[in-house]
Structure 1
Amino acid sequence: MQPQEVARGSYEVFTVRVPSETKDTHTVEVRVAVPDGVNITRTEPKPGWTTELEREDNRIVSVAWKAEGEGLADTEFAEFRMQGRVADDATELVWRAYQTYADGSLAEWIGAPDTGSPMPASLTKVVEGAAQSDGHSHGGASTDAGTPAGESPANAGEASGNADAAAGETPEQGSELAGTSNFSKVTLGIAILAVVLAALALLVVMMRGRKA
């Protein structure tokens, strides 16, 4: 069963990986008992297989997948998925599974985990942690905290770097910029004065011409 570790209160997609291990026959049914520490609410449709849910007190307590065809040969495997929420007080999830073959034999994966049992149940560890998304957007992109929506962390970092560079400008650089600005103002003033003097000179010449 995957994942092997989940957080309390989180929404998870659990994957049952089933190899068919008996020669000369096929796996035709897989049934998984749902542990008390998780509330399964959905299953993923599997082409070629039907899904049956067993409920008690309106809670899904087991999920069975049954082959519509001949099932899985001994060289094949399949993955079956279901979704649910881990309980806030869960400590571990022990998944007991029952694998039925076309010849009528039954493999019961119900042994205590981590004890050397030849057919152990699958164990999912439960740890402290904040609940994740509700599972409606698996695989969706997430952004770092503090990064505006639609802006990648890289762009945000570049903008921050530019701001830091501006904030880190030295006094010498500031003085140089101020001196350049003052020089430009003086140059502009001289140019304006030259234009005014030229206009006055032209006016004097015109007045003298009229007197003559």
Structure 2
Amino acid sequence: MKKTSWTSKLISTVSVSAAALMLFAGFASAHVTVNPTVAQTSAWQTYTIKIPSEKELPTTKITLKVPEGVAFKQYQPLAGWKISTEKNDSNEVTSITWEVDGDNEGILAGQFQQFNFVAQNPQAETEVAWDAFQYYSDGSIVEWTGEPSDSTPHSITTISEEPAAAGNAAASGDHHGSAATGNEGHDDTSTEAGTGDANAADDDTTLGDALTDTVTGEPNNTDTDTGTLKLQQATLIVSILALIMSFLGIALATRRKKR
């Protein structure tokens, strides 16, 4: 009886451990994000949405809802992607969709893609939430519409009269400081070397400033994002360990039955 009790306890422990490991693996994932997370009131802002493919399936479409109070202006065209917008009765853009086009397979496992657009921020200080819907090739949809504590949270941008101060208070981030100093009358055709940071234009920029800050992208970014790759590797390792422990529990139970 003692041996039976010991075996049962071992199997129970293995099962619980495997379940916990699989649960951890589920949390070890990257999110769809919109940057910058802090921006200037009324500014013409270059925003970047970053989409990692978390499944072993390609992401073929992403739809982003434009928050109320944010005035969408322009998007950056990108080869291999068909871009469309939806408008309300007031002719305001309410959502933008990027969908694979031509021979583009989409955002493959271990890859991420960034899309850029320009919008004008609200005049008053507020927080805007970016709801996003990620479509995979099998028809499944991940809705990034939850609160920050949820497993699929939406991105939030804090609109502030003092974005630098707000950014420092919230968290340390990679923002440009005073990037628009002396930019009044800035030529729309000129570009500054090294522009394209997703967190640029946090200050009171003009539309021309925002447009020159746009990143020139590729159809699919084949350079694996370091953070996303580490998370995926951790998920794979944890899943393998959980599987091994489950097999170990089954083997011990089978061996006990044979005795």
TM-score, structure 1 normalization: 0.61
Partner of 1:118: 151
Shift of 1:129: 4.3
Residues 30-109 of structure 1: pairs in structure 2 closer than 5 A: 30-56=62-88, 57-68=90-101, 69-109=104-144
What are the Cα deviations for residues 94-149 of structure 1, in whole angstroms up to 9, with x where unaligned? 00000000000001000013xx1000000001111496222313568xxxxxxxxx
Which residue identity lines up with residue 122 of structure 1 in the other structure? Answer: S
Q: Aligned match of 1:16 in 35, 44, 49?
A: 49
Identical amino acids, percent of aligned pairs:
28
The residue matched to 1:136 in structure 2 has which SS? helix
Whose radius of gyration is greater, 1 or 2? Answer: 1
Figure out how many residues of one structure are paired with residues of the other and give that number. 137
CA contact (8 A) 2:41 2:204 kept: no
The one-letter code sitting in structure 1 at the alignment partner of 2:151 is P
Moved over 4 A (4+): none
Structure 1 residues without counterparts, runs of 5 or longer: 141-212
Report the 3-state secondary structure (helix = DSSP H, G, I; strand = E; otherwise coil) of the residue aligned with 1:137: helix
Q: Which runs of 5+ in 2 are unaligned?
A: 1-33, 164-202, 214-259
- 1:90 deviation in Å? 4.5
Higher RCO (CA-CA < 8 Å; seq separation 6+): 2
Per-residue deviation at 1:3? 0.5
Mapped contact 1:37–1:89 kept (Cα < 8 A) = no
Query: Structure 1 residue 87: deviation in Å?
Result: 1.3
Residue 133 (structure 1) aligns with: 205
Contact 1:37 1:90 in 2 (8 A): no
8 Å contact 1:26–1:101 — kept in the other structure?
yes
Distance 1:90 1:133 in 2: 16
